[in-house]
Structures are given as structure tokens and as C-alpha cells.
């Protein structure tokens, strides 16, 4: 019987940039308990990165880890997590992950590795060459200072057209907290680019002819893959179309399933009309058009096609062709992105001629995508743009910037909503040029640290959607009441969890959602109507836990939490049910190790709890409730003064949220007073050693209550 379970490439690569030495470890033997992905990353950080290490310190490590299912035909399995001490986490950098899709995950596995642990710091810029287990560090001095596009081109010239390159741009080289790592044109991992830059690692090129063994029976595997395809909806697992259809009882104008028969990819040559059944398995890629969803009907005529991660049929990235980009701005006519990338440029403007779905908005997004993904700039889920607008509108720029620098910025273009403004602004950020560029490149921490602006003013302003620790909300109470609030308290950057929001925004009527919720989380009361929230109950806590654990699990398995979990489906004949055990079924078949849903979820809980432990250790406080699991003030206020639990408000109640946190800690078996896992909680998850190490520092309560 082979030592390595199926699905894994089998080896983790360690690269010590200080010494130039490589070594490998057996993935499953060494890291199997933490599955892969973020789990592997947290394990490395716990064991090897000392508490208090800064993000750009030599002691910090950068863990590129994909999961056991990546590189296979499991739908939506193209994800890589990059775990490190996260630069934009403020005021103290703590553990965090960026996530990227594209081809990197699959190609890394075909090259022979499940993960790369980058340690130390190179003396001079280097790039990492990986081909079929052969590893080298090559000189990157000619690439340094250049953008991600050219870097990718030149590395591809050296390695071959089928390699995949993950690279930083100027922003990462200059250690900007707002820097990304980008692969496959538009797939970016937020926040981690500066860590790579600090290590003088410009890029990683992966290429390989290897493959992955599927342990399970071939026919069984094929059936499960086809089953998964059959329960897919569109992006974010929206399971009803945006248009009334003879093939569907339900529809939702707000659905991301916008591919209505009759629409077409207008910039394909010749245009590709959408035809046939919306449930046809060979039409899945036509359901989603993120550009049309965010930028309106006009985007269809500019759509070349959909794009996305290896193995995913959804294609949530849209390749757009806009001739005006070349004629007006001297930029590539073609750009590509999904959701936040498609909004990158548009979000900088408080108003645009033609509105948020007009031509100017389209052009602004094209500029944003082109430039940000070349310089490797992160938007922090739109926070950099919201911060910019607030600082401009409140006169902070005018007050704080030197007069020469202030005068050099074309503010008139910004006020007029002229996309050309971005041609000036974005390079400032990417190059960290001047005070403006420098401050913005630090994220929200920039104004807080550099200009002494109190965080509390961000916390009080609804328009910032600021949450805590330098990052914004990410599907919080505006989508999902207490569940969303709980989820947003738990991480050290924006939560990046979609398990809950994919469900509540899936487009099914409330009564269908409640019926499914009853089956999934014990009661229909686990789900509320949007903006008509009811008081906290244990079922919502159950759902919040499920959402977090599943997200962590996806990040460990290489699955996409923007699509999963797949607990609802478009299929009327299934009562719109999906499958809550899909992840464990795939895991078992791929690896040959039988883990049922509860057991795999337990592994996910282990991983998430290690994240908690890392956070506690590095904050050096056990008081998570007070110091970490914070909720901004605006959540407890309503601009029109509406009361919590009335219809038409997302306003939460402090006491009720207190109760929500109580219930969450209880269901996690953590200490209620502090929100810290107890010794028993760690022991239950096979984290005895972790619990003891923290207890020795007074950071693990003995028992919960």
C-alpha cells in the first residue's frame, strides 16, 4: 500500500533563501493532521515562527499551500492559501492568509509539491524555479522593478509556455502591506506580497508533468464528480437564475446566474450566443458573467469569455475587451477580473458620469484591473478606496499632504469621475511614492499610524464598512445578522468567509431557505430574512460555526469557499437540496482514507482552533472577547434611527451580540468569559501540546464556563 494517500503530490518543499538550500518533507506524515492549505500554514507558523515576529522579519515564513483535492477534476478546486504573519493586520501583525486561484495550485501539484515553505531572506532578488521536483533559485535582478506581466512573460520564456508564475510587482518589492501575489493574470492573494518582497523573492515558476493518484474506484469518482456538477448553481452557488425561466420555479433579479439564453459573449469572434437549457452540463460556464453582474448590461458586448481556476466550470472571472482602453488610455484593450477586481477602479470614485454601470465605470474598472494586477496592489476588499474617499471628502489629504504634493494630484479628475485619474493615483500607491502613495499603501493603518487619525472614527462611520484591525467587514450583519457578525470577529484580516452568505443570497424564497436550514442546522430559525433579524438563538451559533469550519476546510483542501459549501442546489427534484457531505465524500475517495462529514469537520475545527491559538499567543492575551473579537460601533447604529430587530435595518443590539458571542463560545467549547479555547477544548482536538504551551503562559483557561 502506497505511503502517500491519494490526491496528494506527496512532498512539501522548503526553501531557505538565506542559505539557498532546499529540503523536502512528506506531506501527509508531517502535516496530515492539519490537512493542507491554511492548516499546514498555521502548523508551520505555530512550530517555527516565534511569537512577536514581524511580517517582514527574516523569521517570518511564507507558506504557499494547496490542498489534497487541487489538481483533480473536483469542480472548484483550484485554490492556494498563502499563510504568514500578515502585514496589514494592525496594530500588531498576526497570522493571516491570502488566497489565490488560477493555475498555481494544480501546477504546483503536477510539479510534485503540495506546499512550499519559504524561509529566510535572499541577499539579492531571486526567483524560484520548480519543474518536476527539480528546484533552483535563479537570479531575478533583471526582473526586479518590473511588473507582474513582464515577469510572467520572461519566466515563461525560460521555463516554457505551460508554466504558472506567481509573482509580486513593484508594490510587493517595496513591502507595501497593500501588496498582492498574482498568478494567471488576475488571480491575486491579498496582503502577502510584501512578505515575498521582504525575502527578495520576486516570483515562483511551477511546471510539471506529474499527476495525482485517485485512491478510490474510478467509476465511483466519475459519478461523484458528475453529481457535484449537477448541483452547481452559478457564482457564489446562487441556485436560481436572475431571470424568469421556463426551467425554474424561482428567479432572483439579484442572482449571479445572469446567463440568460439570448445573451451573448459579444467580443468573442464571432459572438457566442447563449442557447439551450440553463441546466445543461455543457452550458455551466455561461451562467456567470461577473462583469455583467457588476458593471451592467453593457458588459456583455465587451465579454470575450469567462475564465477562472483550473478545474472550475463556473468561470467567475470575465475577460473583457474594451477598445477605448487603448485609444483613450494607452492600456491593453483586454483585462480580466472577478468581483472585487472588477470594482477596483470604480470604487475610488464617489460618483461617475453615467453612474456605477456606465461607460466611465467600465473604463475605471479596466484601468484598475490592468494596473493593480500588474503592480500587484491589493484593495483590501475595497477598503483602500473607501479610505481614499473618506480622507479626500474630509479634507485630510489637503491638511496633511505637503502643498507641492497635494497640488501635483489631479483632484479635478477625481471630482469629475474621470477614469484617467487612476493613471496618476495607482502608480503612486504601487511605487509607494510620496506621502500619499506611502500612506495609502499601508491600508487603513496608514491614516491611523501616519496621520494620527483615531480608529474609532472609522468604526463609527457606516460608509467605511470598517470592522477591526485594519480591515473591513466581509459579509457581516448587512448580509446575515448575528451569524455574519460572529464570523467577522474571528479572523485577523477581513473574514473571507462565504459559506453563510452563499446560502442566504442563493435566491431561493425564504420559506425554502428555512426548510433547508432546518435540515442543516437544526431549525428554520437559524436563518432570518435579510434586514429583518430576530434575536439570537443557538441554531444561528451552530450555523456560524459551520460556516467558519467549512471555510477553513475549503482553504485546507484547495476548494473554493466562494462557491462552496454546496448545501443548496438548483434541482427542484431534490427539493433544492445540495449535499452537506460533499467535501468528506471527495476527501475519502481521493485519499482512500474514510472520513465522514463529522470527522472531516472535526479536522477543520482543529485547524481553525490552531488559528485561534496562534492569535492568542501572538497577542499575548487570553482575552479574545475583549481584545480581538470586536464589533465596530456602526453595527449598533442605524442612520435613520431604526431599532434592532425591526424590519428594514441591519442594526444589531449590543446585548444580543454579547449573547451571540456567548453562544458561539459555548458551541466551540471555549471559555465564555474570554472566548479562549480551554485546555479541554485543545485536548479534544488533539492539540494537547498547543494547549499546554499556552497554559504555561497563562493563555489557556483550564475549563470553560
Partner 1 sequence: MNPGDTARLADAAGAAVRAASGELRLVDCEAVLEALASGGQFGESEPAAREAARALLPGLLAAHPALAALESRTGRTLYYAPDLLSRTYARILDRKGSPLLLMAEEIRLNSRDYPRPVPVELFQAPPFGLASEDIARALAAMAADPEYRDISSATTATGAVYLFSTRHLERGYAVFLAQRAESADMNP
Partner 2 sequence: MVKEQPPTLIALAASAAGLDASLSRRGFLLFSACAVSSLAALGLCEAFGASPPVVILDNATGLILADPSRCVGCQRCELACSEFNDNRSQPSLARIKIARALNYGLDGPTGGSRMQGLWGDGLVVQGVCRQCPHPVPCATACPENAIVPDPKTGARMVDAKRCVGCRLCQRACPWGMMTFDEDRQKASKCFLCNGKPKCVEACPAGALRFVPWRDITREGRPTVAPLSVIPAAKAKACADCHTPAAKKGARR
- Which residues would be at the binding site for partner 2 (CB under 8 A)? 71-73, 103, 106, 110, 149, 152-154, 156-157, 161-162, 184-185, 208-214, 218, 221-222, 229, 268-270, 272, 280-286, 304-313, 315, 319, 321, 334, 336
Cis peptide before 591 (omega within 30 of 0): no
Residue with Cβ nearer partner 1 (189 or 610)? 189
Do 543 and 517 touch, CB atoms closer than 8 A? Answer: yes
The two beta strands, 113-119 and 11-16, are parallel
Do 192 and 453 touch, CB atoms closer than 8 A? Answer: no
Shortest Å distance, C-beta 604 to partner 1: 25
Do 578 and 531 touch, CB atoms closer than 8 A? Answer: no
Between the alpha carbon of residue 71 and those of residues 221, 229, 232, 388, 590, the distances in Å are 14, 16, 19, 39, 11
Shortest Å distance, C-beta 581 to partner 2: 21
Residue 622 binds which one of partner 2, partner 1, none, with CB within 5 to 8 A depending on kind?
A: none
Do 546 and 517 touch, CB atoms closer than 8 A? Answer: no
Cell of 493: 484580516
If one counts every other C-beta atom within 10 angstroms of the C-beta of residue 262, the result is 9
Do 674 and 625 touch, CB atoms closer than 8 A? Answer: yes
Shortest Å distance, C-beta 260 to partner 2: 16
What CA–CA distance (Å, rounded) separates 661 from 657? 6
Residue 162 binds which one of partner 1, partner 2, none, with CB within 5 to 8 A depending on kind?
A: partner 2
**Partners of 188 in the β-ladder:** 182
Residue 619 binds which one of partner 1, partner 2, none, with CB within 5 to 8 A depending on kind?
A: none
What CA–CA distance (Å, rounded) separates 478 from 459? 15
Q: Is 509 in the site for partner 1 (CB under 8 A)?
A: yes
Shortest Å distance, C-beta 510 to partner 2: 31
Residue 294 binds which one of partner 2, partner 1, none, with CB within 5 to 8 A depending on kind?
A: partner 1
Residue 304 binds which one of partner 1, partner 2, none, with CB within 5 to 8 A depending on kind?
A: partner 2
Q: Is 248 in the site for partner 1 (CB under 8 A)?
A: yes
Do 461 and 636 touch, CB atoms closer than 8 A? Answer: no
Shortest Å distance, C-beta 278 to partner 2: 13
Shortest Å distance, C-beta 583 to partner 2: 17
Site pattern 373..402 for partner 1 (x: CB under 8 A): ---------x--------------------
Shortest Å distance, C-beta 216 to partner 2: 10
Shortest Å distance, C-beta 249 to partner 1: 5
Exactly one of 353, 648, 658, 698 binds partner 1 (CB under 8 A); that residue is 648
If one counts every other C-beta atom within 10 angstroms of the C-beta of residue 281, the result is 11
Shortest Å distance, C-beta 166 to partner 2: 13
Looking at residue 377, the DSSP 8-state letter turns out to be B
Q: Is 643 in the site for partner 1 (CB under 8 A)?
A: no
Cell of 704: 470553560
Q: Is 279 in the site for partner 1 (CB under 8 A)?
A: no
Q: Is 511 in the site for partner 1 (CB under 8 A)?
A: yes
What CA–CA distance (Å, rounded) separates 138 from 136? 6
Residue among 460, 560, 538, 522 nearest 187 (CA): 560
Residue with Cβ nearer partner 1 (115 or 292)? 292
Exactly one of 178, 325, 340, 548 binds partner 1 (CB under 8 A); that residue is 340
What CA–CA distance (Å, rounded) separates 133 from 111? 6
Residue 248 binds which one of partner 1, partner 2, none, with CB within 5 to 8 A depending on kind?
A: partner 1
Shortest Å distance, C-beta 73 to partner 2: 4
Residue with Cβ nearer partner 1 (356 or 538)? 356
Provide the b/e sequence for 436-452 (b: ≥16 CB within 10 Å): bbbbbbbbbbbbbeeee
Cell of 296: 451592467
Site pattern 347..366 for partner 1 (x: CB under 8 A): x-------xxx---------
Helix axes 538-557, 597-619, angle to 10 degrees: 90
Shortest Å distance, C-beta 453 to partner 1: 24
Q: Is 530 in the site for partner 1 (CB under 8 A)?
A: yes
Exactly one of 531, 534, 662, 680 binds partner 1 (CB under 8 A); that residue is 531
Residue 212 binds which one of partner 2, partner 1, none, with CB within 5 to 8 A depending on kind?
A: partner 2
Dihedral angle at the C-alpha atoms of 684, 688, 693, 698, nearest 10 degrees? 40
Give residue for cell 510539471.
Answer: 208
Element (H, E) at 151: helix 148-159
Residue 244 binds which one of partner 1, partner 2, none, with CB within 5 to 8 A depending on kind?
A: partner 1
Residues contributing to the site for partner 1 (CB under 8 A): 243-254, 260, 262, 293-294, 339-340, 343, 347, 355-357, 382, 475, 478-479, 509-511, 529-532, 642, 647-649
Amino acid at each position: 500500500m502506497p505511503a502517500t494517500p491519494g490526491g496528494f503530490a506527496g512532498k512539501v518543499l522548503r526553501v531557505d533563501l538565506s542559505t539557498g538550500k532546499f529540503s523536502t518533507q512528506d506531506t501527509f506524515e508531517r502535516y496530515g493532521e492539519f490537512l493542507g492549505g491554511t492548516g499546514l500554514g498555521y502548523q508551520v507558523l505555530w512550530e517555527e515562527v516565534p511569537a512577536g515576529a514581524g511580517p517582514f522579519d527574516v523569521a517570518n515564513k511564507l507558506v504557499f499551500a494547496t490542498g489534497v483535492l487541487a489538481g483533480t477534476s473536483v469542480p472548484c478546486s483550484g485554490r492556494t492559501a498563502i499563510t504568514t504573519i500578515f502585514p496589514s493586520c494592525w496594530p500588531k501583525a498576526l497570522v493571516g492568509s491570502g488566497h489565490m486561484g488560477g493555475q498555481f495550485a494544480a501546477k504546483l501539484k503536477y510539479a510534485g509539491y503540495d506546499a512550499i515553505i519559504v524561509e529566510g531572506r535572499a541577499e539579492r532578488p531571486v526567483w524560484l524555479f520548480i519543474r518536476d521536483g527539480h528546484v533552483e533559485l535563479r537570479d531575478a535582478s533583471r526582473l526586479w522593478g518590473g511588473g507582474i506581466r513582464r515577469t510572467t512573460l520572461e519566466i515563461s520564456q525560460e521555463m516554457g509556455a505551460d508554466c504558472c508564475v506567481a509573482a509580486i510587482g513593484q508594490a510587493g518589492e517595496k513591502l507595501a502591506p497593500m501588496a498582492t501575489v498574482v498568478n494567471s493574470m488576475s488571480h491575486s492573494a491579498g496582503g502577502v506580497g510584501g512578505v515575498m518582497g521582504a525575502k527578495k523573492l520576486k516570483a515562483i515558476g511551477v511546471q510539471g508533468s506529474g499527476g495525482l493518484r485517485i485512491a478510490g474506484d474510478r467509476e465511483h469518482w466519475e459519478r461523484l464528480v458528475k453529481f457535484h456538477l449537477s448541483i452547481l448553481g452559478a457564482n457564489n452557488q446562487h441556485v436560481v437564475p436572475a431571470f424568469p425561466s421556463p426551467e425554474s420555479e424561482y428567479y432572483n433579479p439579484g442572482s449571479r446566474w445572469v446567463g440568460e439564453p439570448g445573451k451573448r459573449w459579444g467580443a468573442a469572434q464571432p459572438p457566442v450566443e447563449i442557447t439551450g437549457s440553463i441546466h445543461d452540463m455543457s452550458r455551466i460556464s455561461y451562467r456567470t458573467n461577473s462583469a455583467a453582474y457588476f458593471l451592467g448590461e453593457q458588459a456583455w458586448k465587451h465579454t470575450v469569455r469567462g475564465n477562472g481556476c483550473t478545474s472550475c466550470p463556473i468561470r467567475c472571472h470575465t475577460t473583457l475587451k474594451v477598445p477605448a482602453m487603448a485609444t483613450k488610455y494607452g492600456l491593453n484593450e483586454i483585462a480580466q477580473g472577478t468581483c472585487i477586481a472588477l470594482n477596483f477602479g470604480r470604487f475610488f470614485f464617489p460618483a461617475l458620469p453615467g453612474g456605477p454601470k456606465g461607460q466611465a465605470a467600465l473604463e475605471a474598472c479596466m484601468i484598475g484591473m490592468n494596473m493593480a494586477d500588474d503592480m500587484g496592489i491589493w484593495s483590501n476588499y475595497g477598503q483602500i478606496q473607501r479610505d481614499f474617499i473618506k480622507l479626500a471628502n474630509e479634507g485630510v489629504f489637503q491638511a496633511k499632504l505637503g502643498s507641492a504634493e497635494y497640488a501635483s494630484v489631479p483632484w479635478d479628475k477625481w471630482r469629475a469621475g474621470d477614469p484617467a485619474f487612476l493613471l496618476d493615483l495607482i502608480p503612486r500607491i504601487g511605487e509607494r511614492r510620496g506621502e500619499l502613495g506611502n500612506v495609502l499603501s499601508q491600508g487603513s493603518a496608514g491614516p491611523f499610524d501616519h496621520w494620527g487619525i483615531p480608529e474609532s472614527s472609522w468604526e463609527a462611520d457606516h460608509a467605511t464598512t470598517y470592522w477591526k484591525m485594519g480591515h473591513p467587514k466581509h459579509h457581516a450583519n448587512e448580509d446575515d445578522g448575528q451569524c455574519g457578525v460572529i464570523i467577522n470577529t474571528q479572523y485577523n484580516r477581513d473574514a473571507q468567509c462565504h459559506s453563510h452568505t452563499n446560502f442566504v443570497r442563493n435566491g431561493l424564497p425564504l420559506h425554502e431557505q428555512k426548510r433547508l436550514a432546518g435540515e442543516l442546522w437544526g431549525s428554520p430559525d437559524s436563518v432570518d430574512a435579510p434586514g429583518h433579524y430576530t434575536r439570537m438563538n443557538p441554531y444561528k451559533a451552530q450555523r456560524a460555526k459551520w460556516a467558519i469550519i467549512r471555510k477553513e476546510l475549503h482553504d485546507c483542501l484547495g476548494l473554493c469557499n466562494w462557491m462552496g459549501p454546496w448545501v443548496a442546489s438548483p434541482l427542484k427534484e431534490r427539493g433544492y437540496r445540495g449535499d452537506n457531505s460533499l467535501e468528506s465524500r471527495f476527501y475519502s475517495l481521493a485519499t482512500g482514507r474514510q472520513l465522514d462529514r463529522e470527522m472531516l469537520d472535526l479536522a477543520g475545527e482543529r485547524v481553525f482552533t490552531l488559528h485561534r491559538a496562534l492569535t492568542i499567543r501572538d497577542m499575548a492575551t487570553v482575552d479574545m472577547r475583549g481584545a480581538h473579537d470586536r464589533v465596530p460601533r456602526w453595527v449598533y447604529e442605524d442612520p435613520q434611527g431604526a431599532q434592532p430587530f425591526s424590519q428594514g435595518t441591519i442594526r444589531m443590539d449590543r446585548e444580543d451580540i454579547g449573547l451571540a458571542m456567548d453562544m458561539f463560545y459555548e458551541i466551540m467549547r471555549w471559555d465564555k468569559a474570554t472566548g479562549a479555547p480551554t485546555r479541554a477544548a485543545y485536548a479534544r482536538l488533539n492539540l494537547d501540546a498547543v494547549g499546554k504551551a499556552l497554559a504555561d503562559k497563562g493563555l489557556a483557561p483550564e475549563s470553560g464556563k
